[in-house]
Structure 1
Amino acid sequence: MWRGVILDFCRLAVYFFCFSSCLVTGQHKQKQVLRAADYPFWGTLSVDKLSDKGDWVSFYMRYENGTDTLFVTNTSTRKRFAFPKGKQGQFNREQVFACLDADKNLKLIYLLNGVPQSFAGVSTYTFTANQKYLVLERYDETKHKYLEIRKPTGEWVKTIDRVKQWELSPSGNSLLYTKKDENTNSVVLLNLEDKPISTLITQSASSVFFGLVWHEKSLSAAWMAVAQGREPQIQFYSIGSRELFTLEPEKIAGFPRSMQVNSKLLRSLRIASEGKCIFFNLQMKDIQTSPPSVQVWNSADTMLYPSREMTGGNDHVDRVAVWLPEKGRFLQITNKEQSQLLLAGNGRFAVTNNPWEEEPQFRQNAVSDFYITDLETNTKELLLKGQLGANGQLLSSPAGKHIGYFRDGDWWTYNLFTKKHRNVTGSLGVSFYDNATGEPFGHPGWEDKDSSMLVYDQYDIWKLDPDGNALRLTRGRESGTVFRVVETTDEQSVKLYQNGYTAGRFDSNTGWVLSSRHLESGATAFYEYDQDKGIRLLDGGAFRVVQLVKAAGAKGYSYTIESYDCSPSLHYKKVGRAKSVPLFESNLQQKHFEWGSEKLISYDAPDGQQLQGILYYPAGYESTKKYPMVVSIYQKQSHHFHQYLNPSQKNNRGFNFTDYTARGYFVLLADIVYQKGKVGMSAVACVSSAVKAALTEKAIDTNRLGLIGHSFGGYETNYIITQTKLFAAAVSGAGISDLVSSYLYYNPDSVMSNMWRLENFPYYMGGSLHEITNVYLENSPVLHAKDITTPLLSWAGEEDRQVSVFQSIEFYNALRRLGKKHIMLLYPKEGHVLMNAANKRDLNTKIREWFDFYLKAAPAIDWMKPDFTIR
């Protein structure tokens, strides 16, 4: 099996069938120089949907000026329809495609004959799963919402007036809605399996109904019922028995009198256990909302004061409860001591923990003791002691049999019914976590019915039987290729409820999709996995294959192919056919312009490991000329190889490398790895080694090198220029300059101390400020500012809450006092990256002018001159 796959992959790696137009078009015609005025013509290709049988595919072309277009094309004939500013596209079998335009017109196109139809004033719509009906949401002249039920051909069937809320069932063939007629509120079920049949579930003159939610298998539904002067209630309706149950807090045993149903947090409602129980949030009745007269920050507090204010000190955090309507049982699951929840066993088991029990602690995520409660018997016991539950390291299985968790470098399973723990990776002799971060490479999900658990090592995908058997599905380690699972359906995605994750579900009987990336060459590929037939190559080669979408009712796939010098093209591949069908090539205008090229370079890190960088060549490159080069840094960036980047001068970090290659620059993206306690020096060594490797290209002018970085890359830039005179100019965006003050800072958004970030990844100091003070001082750029000779342009958002703006101001004051060449740009009302279009354009322009001045000897611009004032 693998021999055939490898041969196919190698053939594709050298066969650029998808890029023929890029390689041959324009060879006999002088190409134009790409200029900023041309950039608005570039758009981004996004794959949207495939029809059930794969006969049609929809996709977008999106532009910076907002003139987006939604397209639909036939995967065989390439017949195409266009919908300017279209959105929310849906197929109804292979016959009809619908979408909304910017003016709230519903556009229908009958795909077989191209006949269009339009309905004005549609706010949203959907087709039923049986594809018999089209549901339109509209508003009348009095601004009351109503629904129209039509046939997919547009023929009117039924109108439902004065609708307040509606939800189509997960099965897609039943509609639950609330409405208000005069003084009566109602909840109605509309069955759309055949002829529309309405069932009035409940009505009231005093209660308002909202927050409709369905069980995932459409077995039951629930909603909030709120009346003035009465505590919020929950109502539950069983579809099969047609029984309605009402949770009345004042009448049910065990309901805490100090709390009430949180009727505002609607996403807290969830029906589980085969549609038999409903989970919801409780909130305190009396919550202090007035601001305190003084803030009291106590160093012995378990939480930082802002975090305590946000959560109410864990006293006022919502609690989670469960109600079993048919049994008349109520149980509060979480409390002050156990405030976080993971549901397992399809809702039968509740796993709880106290995220604050280890506080104050100074990691990003604390460990805690996890307890498991059987909600049928209301028995509780310890599940795991001192376990990290964050970052996907503890997940319930989708079929409800197990919990998978990562501990001490290995993946474990816990059987919910036998109560046995098993280490399923300990004997495999392979590492399943990243040494730099300590985090696992990943656990995407389980095979259907929880027969096996899927996990990643650095290269490969493993199927792990909960009883201890292991199967390595791929052979990436031998060839230096990383394999991963691709999510092509919603059930394959990880689900979040409350604070807990449920892993994805993968059905090997119908097959699923794998991706691969060869680390040395950057080549990518997609494969289809079937438990009987094994792994079959779909497409791949020395280019980038992304955005894969699978046809629900057929073994067909749509995806895009790109490389740096070839704009993304849309392809369709039917399994069993030798070649894919090219359907659309974006940005055809590129072939009329000079364009850059790319290559991978290799170099050594201080610890001896080999790293890679991407070297981009200037458009119109001539080996006999000399060019400047800008080095862009962050951490590892070589995975961007073969990625196409539209030219733009509106980047939210101020730098677009296609813009620079178009203007005659080399650009280098350099990978960096870090040694503990030497984050700054590691950056210096890796970047210097990368530049040395790049300079084997003799066309790069060694005297005209620039350096740029943002955030962590901004810190690296700040530090590198204190240690080397390699660069003639540098740009630092939102970069830390003082590790001491940054260590003592807290992020107002996450309301967490910054200590974890400095002690661990990515700064990796290896200890606290007061344990290894000298290490923090040695790695702080501001303390080495006197050694800077490189002119620096720095920038920051004045309201940056991730990296304090005072990090840039501190560095500015130090360089000003030392008389260094430095300009700082501060953007009001901006955060860690720029959002305002005018500000983005301004930043891109000023960075470009800065590099042009120092690397191309362009004239100085007024803003660079002393005492410049914007007027």
Structure 2
Amino acid sequence: MWRGVILDFCRLAVYFFCFVSCLLTGQVKEKKILRAEDYPLWGTLSVDALSDKGGWVSFYMRYENGSDTLFVTDTSTRRRFVFPKAKNGQFNGEAVFACLDKEKNFKLIYLPNGKMQSFEGVSAYKFSGNQKYLLLERYDERKHKYLEIRKPTGEWVKTIERINQWELSPSGTSLLYATTDENMNSVVLLNLEDKPISTLITQSASFVFSALVWHEKALSIAWMSVAEGREPQIQIYNIGNREFFTLEPEKMIGFPKSMQVNSKLLRSLRIASEGRSIFFNLQMKDVQASPPPVQVWNSADTMLYPTREMTGGNDYVDRVAVWFPEKGMFLQLTNKEQSKLLLAGNGRFAVTNNPLEEEPQFRENAVRDFYITDLETNIKELLLKAQSGANGQLLASPDGKYIGYFRDGDWWTYNLFTKKHINLSSNLGVLCYDTATGEPFGNPGWEDKDSSMLVYDQYDIWKLDPDGKAIRLTNGRESGTVFRVVETTDEQSVKLYQNGYTAGRFDSNTGWVISSRHLVSGATAFYEYNQDKGIRLLDGGAFRVRQLVKAVAVNGYAYTTESYDCSPSLYYKKVGRAKSVPLFESNLQQKHFRWGSEKLISYDAPDGQHLQGILYYPAGYEPTKKYPLIVHIYQKQSHNYHQYHNPSTANNRGFNITDYTARGYFVLLADIVYEKGKVGMSAVECVSSAVKTALKEKAIDADRLGLIGHSFGGYETNYIITQTNLFATAVSGAGISDLVSSYLSYNTNNSMSNMWRLESFPYQMGGSLHEITNVYLESSPVLHAKDITTPLLSWSGEADNQVNAFQSIAFYNALRRLGKKHIMLLYPKEGHVLMNSGNRKDLSTKIREWFDYYLNNASAVDWMEPDFTPR
């Protein structure tokens, strides 16, 4: 008791001394004003990796000028090693760390004593899975690739000359490689145990070997064999019984004469079914090389002409085939009529569909019939009729028992062996999809052995038993908190092969990680979940927790925390310990500068729905002063609360929050929700409501309001200024101005017309142009340009494939004809966002000068004058 009293007295004494000292000396250091020349000091903290037992963590500080630095820190002692301009860091156990720099210099450091070795000219490297060997890929003076095998401490063991390709086994304890010299080509298997032992698998003087692949359990290996004047072959070797098989197309019954193995797709081979089958791609032998003299666009075409020209048409798209070496059997699985493939049941079942089945149709994801083929019997049956082809709405389970799919608002399973369909979510009492978009909230994966499927509702995580039992793992709905699963291992991630997805695998015994975000306060947190102990908090609070990385061998986690006025810091937390260990604080220089702050504001949409916005206060804020406000719009942005923003003048959209708060602006990010058929007016009403609430802050000058948006936000900006004179000026980037021409245009980014985008989310017109023509006309800013009184700056990339630059040009011509105050910036060779660093800086500068002129009484700049010609 007395010890506590004494400590409290000491603290009070220290505080009193500090207070009196400040009063007496008056030496409270004034913070500096943040200026553009200070911005290069800021970097971005990125967590890289944890050692297996969590003893060390690696992380980066990345800078806009490219002066990146890699750090390695002891999570107990905080001892640190620094590697300027390094990348590709890897731990080997707890004692060894390695990395490469941009000049291909390889660094190998022994962590206990800091001893370091360097090797020049290393293009790639890996450690063996048993941590006994280091593999360095290098090139000799004749530019021939070779592989050095060394001890993790650097001692040379073996050199493999003239190597073409090398692949470690899934466990990392065996090496498969192919070599080529003047006389002989070889495939070799090298055991990386106590002493590396080589096994020659095959040799050929004429065939070159490539596309090496392992079975996921290392039961077998396969590769492609290519020789001039011969059709490409596939070979497979069974490691257990040493059986060797070769697929020779010209001798294989059923192999299509017009096609050949596609030997250029080095990642297309997949060994499945315990090594008894191998999947690969076929390509047409003869493909039309020269363009036709005339383009023929037929309104009944299943593919738009540009898409057909780009892909070669469905006639020339690669097909997928399977070969059963032991049976000597070949099956072509996809064709013109069934061109897409999902493998299920660990390769026993092939699910195929035709994405062009309903064409011409005008949704983003066409519905189509899915068929399933049992490859052991070659029996094909209808699996699902008129099912959406959207990514993430039909996935194979990781252990091969089920197919999970989203249909008619619910999650279903199909048992591959009983052939039963079961609706898993119909009795949950909550929706598993977003009513605005119709899209499911998500399905992160399955528990081990396919015991249950994990799915989301708006707030919570559910565990759905394939036989119908449902368990809610979290209680987010009651508190307004969104819970989601966090992937921390490769096993937990979704896998893609060909066009089909296999869901991630989660182990309920060892557990997995869950994140949360409170919708009102914006607070975030991370939790660890396992079946026995339930959910345990790792860290969280009135800040943002991000970038969580888990140690492999212990329940230890590295992660960052941040808020708008607190630069990201790195922490390490071991489950069972009360406190996290602080390891690194980024951007320490911030404490010397004035900085803004943030708060959430609440307001209502026209339908009464409660919305939020983030209001950022200017650096050095004084309540008695008056400041301008810039409103940034898109759709919903309140989820960015507590996000730190490095100051920058080189943003790819020309706008940076901290750049503006540093120069005396309020910034508001406003959430917007939409009524179908009234998307533009919804933006007007939601933004007006947000601004009305923001203006309760008396320091905001209602006569100095600016508006800015890009892409869909650019469209919203264009429309808003046709309906209200609330804003003194506006900036629109890559925004649609004419919904009619946009609806009828072709989007090369997704090889589709824009019709689906305007009919559904986000534009939500609610029907086709010819069904509700008046809605498209009423929603087109260009047709209301005469009502604009707000000076507008617009910009676009001349090569924008997402929103054609014509949209900005059309608006410019309309405003020019009407004599409105408007300037358009058009950047040659740029797309939807700017990639050239010089152009980024130019755009950021011009937007800043524009706002300063209209909102901060700055003088006009030369580029704002008529007939200005850039020099």
Q: Displacement, 1:107?
A: 0.6
Letter in 2 for 1:58: S
Q: How do 1:598-747 and structure 2 match up within 5 A?
A: 598-747=598-747
Q: Displacement, 1:244?
A: 1.9
The separation in 2 between residues aligned to 1:513 and 1:488, in whole angstroms, is 7
Q: How do 1:565-604 and structure 2 match up within 5 A?
A: 565-604=565-604
2:329 is aligned to 329
CA deviations over 1:726-756 (Å, ceiling 9, x no partner): 0001000000000000000011232201000
Is 2:54 the partner of 1:57? no
Is 2:254 the partner of 1:254? yes
1:217 is aligned to 217
Q: Displacement, 1:307?
A: 1.5
2:82 is aligned to 82
Letter in 2 for 1:574: K
Which deviates the most, 187-196 or 53-62?
187-196
The separation in 2 between residues aligned to 1:658 and 1:289, in whole angstroms, is 52
Letter in 2 for 1:276: R
Q: Displacement, 1:115?
A: 1.0
What residue ranges of structure 2 are gaps of 5+ in the alignment?
1-21
Residue aligned with 1:611, SS: strand
Is 2:296 the partner of 1:287? no
Q: How do 1:84-483 and structure 2 match up within 5 A?
A: 84-483=84-483
Which deviates the most, 781-790 or 283-292?
283-292
CA deviations over 1:232-276 (Å, ceiling 9, x no partner): 111111111222211000111111111110111222211111222
Letter in 2 for 1:127: F
Q: Displacement, 1:306?
A: 1.1
The separation in 2 between residues aligned to 1:221 and 1:618, in whole angstroms, is 61
CA deviations over 1:657-702 (Å, ceiling 9, x no partner): 1100000000000000000000000000000000001000000000
Letter in 2 for 1:180: T
Residue aligned with 2:669, SS: strand
CA deviations over 1:89-141 (Å, ceiling 9, x no partner): 11110001000112211111111111111111111111101000001111111
The separation in 2 between residues aligned to 1:307 and 1:573, in whole angstroms, is 50
The separation in 2 between residues aligned to 1:335 and 1:820, in whole angstroms, is 56
The separation in 1 between residues aligned to 2:834 and 2:752, in whole angstroms, is 23
CA deviations over 1:775-809 (Å, ceiling 9, x no partner): 00000000000000000000000000110100000
Is 2:564 the partner of 1:564? yes
What residue ranges of structure 1 are gaps of 5+ in the alignment?
1-24
The separation in 2 between residues aligned to 1:566 and 1:428, in whole angstroms, is 40
Q: Displacement, 1:391?
A: 2.5
Letter in 1 for 2:746: Y
The structure 1 segments of at least 4 consecutive aligned residues displaced by more than 4 Å after TM superposition are none
2:14 is aligned to none
CA deviations over 1:208-239 (Å, ceiling 9, x no partner): 11111111222211111011111111111111
The separation in 2 between residues aligned to 1:440 and 1:135, in whole angstroms, is 44
1:828 is aligned to 828
Q: Displacement, 1:427?
A: 1.1
Letter in 1 for 2:166: W
Q: Displacement, 1:358?
A: 0.5
Query: How big is the alpha-carbon RMSD for the aligned residues of Structure 1 and Structure 2?
Result: 1.0
Which structure has the higher relative contact order (CA within 8 Å, separation 6+)? 1
The separation in 2 between residues aligned to 1:733 and 1:758, in whole angstroms, is 18
The separation in 2 between residues aligned to 1:254 and 1:431, in whole angstroms, is 48
Residue aligned with 2:274, SS: coil
CA deviations over 1:411-436 (Å, ceiling 9, x no partner): 00000000000000001111000011
2:798 is aligned to 798
Q: How do 1:9-20 and structure 2 match up within 5 A?
A: none
Contact 2:355 2:389 in 1 (8 A): no
Q: Displacement, 1:311?
A: 3.0
Q: Displacement, 1:496?
A: 0.8
The separation in 2 between residues aligned to 1:859 and 1:217, in whole angstroms, is 69
The separation in 1 between residues aligned to 2:301 and 2:145, in whole angstroms, is 50
Letter in 1 for 2:153: T
User: TM-score, normalized by length of structure 2?
Assistant: 0.97
Residue aligned with 1:346, SS: helix
Residue aligned with 2:846, SS: helix
Which deviates the most, 702-711 or 157-166?
157-166
Letter in 2 for 1:816: R
CA deviations over 1:816-864 (Å, ceiling 9, x no partner): 0000000000000100000000000000000000000000010000000
Contact 2:743 2:754 in 1 (8 A): yes
Contact 2:125 2:137 in 1 (8 A): yes
Letter in 2 for 1:328: G
Letter in 2 for 1:569: S
CA deviations over 1:550-570 (Å, ceiling 9, x no partner): 000001000000000000000
Residue aligned with 2:842, SS: helix
Letter in 2 for 1:645: H
Q: Displacement, 1:182?
A: 2.1
The separation in 2 between residues aligned to 1:299 and 1:92, in whole angstroms, is 60
Letter in 2 for 1:219: L
Residue aligned with 2:275, SS: coil
CA deviations over 1:495-521 (Å, ceiling 9, x no partner): 111111100000111110000000000
The separation in 1 between residues aligned to 2:105 and 2:817, in whole angstroms, is 62
Q: Displacement, 1:27?
A: 10
1:542 is aligned to 542
Residue aligned with 1:719, SS: helix
The separation in 2 between residues aligned to 1:252 and 1:394, in whole angstroms, is 33
The separation in 2 between residues aligned to 1:370 and 1:181, in whole angstroms, is 48
The separation in 1 between residues aligned to 2:133 and 2:28, in whole angstroms, is 55
User: TM-score, normalized by length of structure 1?
Assistant: 0.97
Which deviates the most, 230-239 or 589-598?
230-239
Residue aligned with 1:234, SS: strand
Percent identity, please. Answer: 83
Letter in 1 for 2:279: F
The separation in 1 between residues aligned to 2:208 and 2:731, in whole angstroms, is 57
Residue aligned with 2:167, SS: strand
Q: Displacement, 1:310?
A: 2.5
